Amino acid sequence: MGTATAGIVAAVGMPSGLLWWLIAPRPDVTAIGDGTTAPFPVSETNFAVDGWFAVIMMVVGIATGYGAFLVQYRLAARDRTDLRLACLLGTAAGACVGAVIAWRLGVLLDAAEFQRALDAAAPGEVIRSGLRLNALSALAAWPFVAVLQYGLFDAVSMWRRDLPAERAADTTDEESHAAPASAPYGADPESYGAHPGSYGVDSEPYGAHPAPPAAPPAPDGRDTRAEPGSGL
């Protein structure tokens, strides 16, 4: 999971470098001959190139950090496993590689045009420079923001006790400790006392004797059973 995350995040460096190449301004430089230049005249454009790169890296860091956390959260909830550390390391590694890809791609897209202008320029002539990143510390903006964003959402999940792996473990414990509901005694046909004639709900009480048979009627229709006070 970490390797896949790193590859996907690093691939975002290509459109990021293309975006930097499209919107970043180009500073002016002075050609001094022998294929070299001097950073003159100095203007705010020299710093705007680095600023635009840093802003793009921070925005991409927010997006990839949130996206990586969201994907691992859903996969962890589906597979009932903990993917936080693997995705975090993959996001950090992919962001480092992606920042370098964005930087080198932006510079490469301007290299041919700038080289042609430099070859045609006379010494002392001011020409437009290609993209260059003077503040290499801007490369750290993407991995730093991505890890910060990822860690922020993970901290909120821990505070809310909403981690998929922990919820899956709690559910498993509850299922394993839940006792199955037992049937009432005597409800099962195979249980003791369920068959007629045995000691149970369908049998006669203990110690009870069957009633004697009734006497047959007399031929004249009179009841031959003794009546109270008859003396029989």
* 153-208 pLDDT tens trace: 999 988 888 877 666 555 555 556 554 544 454 445 454 444 444 444 444 544 55
Contacts of 68-72 with C-beta under 8 Å, sequence gap 24+, read: 68/5, 68/9, 68/146, 68/150, 69/149, 69/150, 69/153, 69/154, 71/5, 72/1, 72/5
Whose tokens are 């006790």? That residue is: 161
User: Is there a domain that residue 229 lies in?
Assistant: no
**pLDDT of 80:** 78
Q: How many residues does the chain have?
A: 232
Whose tokens are 């002539």? That residue is: 125
User: Is there a domain that residue 96 lies in?
Assistant: yes
User: Is there a domain that residue 191 lies in?
Assistant: no
User: Is there a domain that residue 114 lies in?
Assistant: yes
Q: What domain count does the chain have?
A: 1
**pLDDT of 83:** 85
Q: pTM of this prediction? A: 0.68
The answer to whether the beta carbons of residues 139 and 100 sit under 8 Å apart is yes
Instruction: Provide the 3-class DSSP secondary structure of residue 36.
Output: strand
How far is the C-alpha of 232 from the C-alpha of 227, rounded, in Å? 8
- Dihedral angle sign, alpha carbons of residues 159, 165, 168, 172: negative
**pLDDT of 217:** 58
User: Is there a domain that residue 187 lies in?
Assistant: no
User: Tokens at residue 172, please?
Assistant: 């498993």
Range of the domain at 148: 2-21+42-166
